[in-house]
Amino acid sequence: MLIYKIFRPAEWAEMQAQGETPGSPADIADGFVHFSTAGQVPGTLAKHFAGEGELFLLACDADTMADELRWEPARGGALFAHLYRPLRMADVLWTRLLVPEAGRHDAGELE
């Protein structure tokens, strides 16, 4: 199953330079890396990234991270994937640049 991480350009550049990351400032504060399923991505974009410029959507395979991944209730009681270790470049299957149009981001078709 694919799960998705959204990064601002500076966060993605830092991960590429370091080879891994503890995540965004929100991830670091919470102690885990937040992910969204395909169905959760639009809500995550609207709630946490409204009004932002370009973003990067990273796709990762939940099965390969299963030992350190927990599905925990969050927004509205829905289960979200939380990674309890740094996110590594090796975890990323592909990336997509998200350019806002009319003030909002559209991730397109996922999974």
pLDDT one-digit tens code per residue, 40-49: 999 999 999 9
Q: Does residue 31 sit in helix, strand or coil?
A: coil
**Mean pLDDT, to the nearest integer, of 55-83?**
95
The pLDDT value recorded for residue 45 is 94
Q: Rounded to whole angstroms, how far apart are CA atoms 93 and 1?
A: 12
pLDDT one-digit tens code per residue, 76-86: 889 999 999 99
Q: Is the pLDDT of residue 65 over 90?
A: yes
What does pLDDT average to over the chain? Answer: 94
Q: Which domains does the chain have, with CATH numbers?
A: 2-98 (3.20.170.20)
Q: Which of 37, 51, 41 is nearest to 106 (CA)?
A: 41
